[in-house]
Structure 1
Amino acid sequence: MQSEKGRYSQPRWGVTRWLADAGPGVPDDIRAALIGDLYGSLPVFAAGAVNTVAVAAVIAIREPTAPFIAWVILELVICLSRLSVLVAAHRAAREGRPTPTDLHLVLAVAWSSSVGFGILISLASGDWVVAMLASLSAAAMVGGICFRNFSAPRLAGTMILLSLGPIVPGAALADEPLLFIVFLQVPMYLAAMTVAAFRLNKMLIATMRAERENGHLAHHDTLTGLRNRAGFVAALNTKLAAPAGHGKPFALLFLDLDNFKPVNDTYGHAAATRC
């Protein structure tokens, strides 16, 4: 199972492998497809990046203090870095080269941390317009995080925690008793969204397994497990379409057994297969 845009590399670092792990017993081809899903597309990335950078910028214009200016700079650096890595990864996947998956995952976590930092300083500022804008932006991003990254539920849960979790200490710093309700709301919301990511992940893997099994049945004989006519044609076309110089030379041997049908009809397919 491979993305139409190419195959993306599995993470190699310990922490990124843990973040992207799909669970035990998942076949390698499905793991590769799940990693490809994490990269998404440029339009989806652009929508999230424009939102967070724009929110940070307008807040910095309203509150031109060092923390908010630092937040704008941080958002710009992270988003431009993620864009560069995303473009490079898509190009590398199409060309069959290793992709910077570890860096892609680290930058995703860094971006969610930046969103959380913005919430924290916005609530601590005491400006309720700024606090509301930053919190609404983060809440909108959390929905996208869950439904865009549920192919790696640990990554989704970590990003949700880092982006929305700072509301709790931010509310404490705001010294507004009415905001203390978030001490109950935010943990429940974080738990619910993380559970949703894990459930969606299980559904996605189950669907991929079904597609994998159906694809195998469509191209293999159920009795012998060998490729059937459709599978043979697909494998031959793949070999013939390979660029010159790629792969090893191959030869095709065709055997035609005369009068084999009576054996099938008399003794059955199982017996004929053992002949």
Structure 2
Amino acid sequence: MQNDSRLFSLPRWRVTRWLTDAGHDVPDEIRKALVASLFGTLPIFAGGVLNTLAVSALVAWRMPQKPFLLWCVLECGICLTRLLVLVIAQRAAAARRRTPTDLYILLGLAWAASVGYGTFISLTSGDWVVATLACLSAAAMVGGISFRNFGAPRLAGAMIVLTLGSCCLAAPFTGEPLLLITFLQIPFYLASMSAAGFRLNRMLVATMQAERDHAFRARHDSLTGLLNRAGLADAIAARRDDLAALLYLDLDGFKAINDTHGHAAGDQLLQAVAERLRTSARPQDVVARIGGDEFVVLTDVLAPAALIAFSDRIVAQISVPFALDPARTVQVGVSIGIALAPEHGTDLAGLLSAADAALYAAKALGKSRSALAPLRAAA
């Protein structure tokens, strides 16, 4: 998973989407993390660039002919462009802007094709030193490709084909019949590396999915799917610099229903209450269950009159009877205590303490109503 604040855009072109596809059932969050992995491992990227630049330059120096000079120019152009696009993508991701992901993937394929071209002309040159340099370089690059791109195994496979496939194409033109064995070696190698890449990718996706599920369970209530106390604390911390109001809700009459109809009915009622709170809250509001029949709504509505009106709407919606099944209908109320941040605190403990005092005041007034914690007098 992505641990920093950089967000890399998913590819938009059909071919690049196919090359980076991780499966139809993979969440977008994991897809983005897999795409981000293509922009990482910078030491491997730098090593690959320096290697191919050095090899193409040395080969061109040893054999200053047009095909080899062209390869050197291609390597310089592609590598410099890849580096420029990588820097642009890193900065755009840090700024939460769209990144040139499609172009970056296309340049990776172009680089692999350039290495393959260099391997082809080196093998057919008749110079064993040049051929050795080019083939060793290509083999080394395949290792880096496999390690750096196993988050996108189709892309890794395509780059390996472009890099080493030229060995098969060059074999008939070398005049060495023994090299025709590459028609067996290279396809077998490509198949085994591709299979390993897909296997590693599946393991990676499974691990990331498990981490994602664990993180979700750690921050969400298992019964209702709402944020739990830890998730609510994180949400408040994220709004530390922005004013917000915390509504502390406690159901009225829930214990009697739970005792009369059983815990299963009580759980069903809590789930129904959570769903009504979701529909009552605005998209930017945060809804949480912090235990038992206690819920919290975090909102940016601040005007006292608007807060009371918002709370009264919640009271009215929760008071509508719930149908547990065709034969059973139950009704509960809800009392609400309201605290403001930062007036009553900036963390969960401080806000809940103030809201809890307001909640008791609301219950003392007859339940199924809301009360605002008293504001501190200005100094």
* TM-score, scaled to structure 1: 0.91
Unaligned 5+ runs, structure 2: 271-379
- Mapped pair 1:197 → 2:197: yes
Once the two structures are TM-superposed, the CA of residue 30 in structure 1 deviates from its matched residue by 0.6
Aligned to 2:6: 6
The one-character-per-residue Cα deviations of 1:144-202 (angstroms, maximum 9, x if unpaired) are 11121011111011000000100011111111112111111011001111111111110
1:233 corresponds to: 233
CA distance in 1, matches of 2:3, 2:100: 16
SS of aligned partner of 1:180: helix
For residues 211-254 of structure 1, the C-alpha deviation after alignment (integer angstroms, 9 at most, x for no partner) is 0110111011111211111111112222336xx7xxxx864312
Equivalent residue for 2:175? 175
Change (3 A) 1:147 1:215: same
TM-superposed deviation, 1:273: 6.0
What secondary structure, in the 3-state scheme, does the structure 1 residue paired with 2:246 have? coil
Structure showing the higher helix proportion among its residues: 1
Q: Is the 8 A contact 1:263 1:272 kept in 2?
A: no
**2:249 is equivalent to residue 255 of structure 1:** yes
Aligned partners of 2:44 and 2:144 also within 8 Å: no
| Residue 23 of structure 1, CA deviation | 1.5
1:179–1:225 CA distance, 2 compared to 1 (3 A): same
For 2:144 and 2:236, locate their aligned partners in 1 and report how far apart those are by CA, in whole Å: 41
Aligned-residue offset at 1:109: 0.3
- Whether the 8 Å CA contact 1:13–1:102 is kept in 2: the answer is yes
C-alpha separation between the residues in 1 aligned to 2:239 and 2:19? Answer: 36
Give the conservation status (yes or no) of the 8 Å contact 2:219–2:230: yes
Higher strand share: 2
Cα distance in structure 2, aligned partners of 1:211 and 1:269: 30
1:97 aligns with 2:91: no
- Quick check: 1:32 aligned with 2:42? no
Aligned length: 269
- Whole-angstrom CA distance in 1 between matches of 2:26 and 2:157: 20
Partner of 2:108: 108
2:129 aligned with 1:144: no
Counterpart of 2:19? 19
Q: 1:148 to 1:264 in 2, by over 3 A?
A: farther
Question: Comparing 119-128 with 264-273, which one deviates more in the overlay?
Answer: 264-273
SS of 1:254 mapped into structure 2: strand
Identity percentage over the alignment? 58
Q: Identify the structure with bigger relative contact order (alpha carbons < 8 Å, sequence gap 6+).
A: 1
Summarize the Cα distance change of 1:3–1:101 in structure 2 as closer, same or farther, 3 Å threshold: farther
CA distance in 1, matches of 2:16, 2:216: 31
Superposition pairs for residues 63-102 of structure 1, below 5 Å? 63-102=63-102
Q: Distance in 2 between matches of 1:187 and 1:137?
A: 19
RMSD: 2.2
Q: Relative to 1, partners in 2 of residues 1:263 and 1:237: Cα closer, same or farther, differing over 3 Å?
A: farther
8 Å contact from structure 2 (residues 41, 148) kept in 1: no
Moved more, 250-259 or 39-48: 250-259
Q: Deviations over 1:113-165 (max 9, x none)?
A: 00000000000101111111111110111111112101111101100000010
Task: Letter of the 2:27 partner, please give it.
Answer: P
